[in-house]
Amino acid sequence: MGKSLITLEHISKSYDGQLILDDLNLDIHENSFVTLLGPSGCGKTTTLRIIGGFEKPDQGRVVFDGQDITSLAPNKRQLNTVFQKYALFTHMSIEENIAFGLKIKNKPDSYIKDKIRYALKLVNLEGFEKRMPDSLSGGQQQRIAIARAIVNEPKVLLLDEPLGALDLKMRQDMQYELKRLKEELGITFIYVTHDQEEALTMSDHIVVMNQGYIQQEGSPETIYNEPENAFVADFIGDSNIIRATMIRDELVDILGTKFACVDKGFGENKPVDVVIRPEDVELVAPSEGTISGVVTDLTFKGVHYEMDVEACGYEWLVHSTRLSEVGTKVGIKVDPFNIQIMNVPVSEDEEAISETI
């Protein structure tokens, strides 16, 4: 990972007396694809707008490449923003839209033409120069908005839920396009979304936010496989989150039954939260399971079956390529490495930070 390009230091922001960001600190590295992920109202878009200069924090500062830019106007910053609503000029052709920022900077015509050609090739829309925005599909309009941003050669591209208005197939195609663009351009992408699949697909680094706090940050693999609290576990993919007791290192009591695990350092006979992903629950013959239960619901999902299994008074969510019909008695086994142990919140503040949705 490259050097730190953007640093947010002790950022706080309120609207109408409501705290949106609370002492937020974040480092964004050069040439990374960082996703700010969280539910509506978590503060992710406000964070992006503060980086872009569209909002000023009540406290704290924004440092860009070693320079304090907290009070710098958006057009003075080395970054461009792509919004969900594209914001294309409907009365201008595609080439006029892309050239807009360059003309403001008084770039020569030959330079502008070269840049338009380069940008359209990059977004796979060569030959679209004379077209008007309303003749394009949503995905094509989004690509033009990106082309208009990248011709200005920003060091950072800010993307505020840019795929939200697209249908599922187009959204998936654009996810891979954005990842390709990031690699070809070699610039830093900061992406805002509430869609965990988008975050996992595209990012080098995910920042999970809730209630103005950063809940956890790290690689997609770390966020998914090692969530630090129940909120992250529940927000990133489906999970079985169960209140349990850590008997001692590497042994946990889940629903009255002892399960081997690999976690240490939680103490003895301490309350904990356990996270087990549905794909990590193995259904076996009742006599072979650590606990046994009954399949109560079944849905075919294409790649796998999604099943609910009632066991020890808990409804387990299970994803498996092997079908167990409703009413089947099954055993449940979980590999010790797939049992994630987390501390139970002990204070009201901690409860708010790790609130389960």
Confidence of residue 357 (pLDDT cuts 50, 70, 90): very low
- 170 — pLDDT class (breaks 50, 70, 90): confident
pLDDT reading at 348 higher than 50: no
- The rounded distance, in Å, linking the Cα atoms of 161 and 182 is 16
- In the chain, % of residues over pLDDT 90: 57
At 107, the pLDDT band (50, 70, 90 cuts) reads confident
The pTM of the full predicted model, rounded to 2 decimals, is: 0.83
Report pLDDT for 181: 85
What distance in Å separates the CA atoms of residue 254 and residue 178, rounded to the nearest whole number?
42
- Looking at per-residue pLDDT, the higher value among 175 and 355 belongs to 175
Dump the DSSP string for 242-293: EEEEEEETTEEEETTEEEE-----S-SSEEEEEEE-GGGPEEE-GGGSSEEE
Task: Indicate whether 229 pLDDT > 70.
Answer: yes
Structural domains in the chain plus CATH codes: 4-225 (3.40.50.300), 238-353 (2.40.50.140)
137 Cβ contact partners less than 8 Å away, ≥ 6 residues apart: 170
The radius of gyration computed from the CA coordinates of the chain, to the nearest angstrom, equals 24
pLDDT in tens, 276-308: 999 999 999 999 999 999 999 999 999 999 999
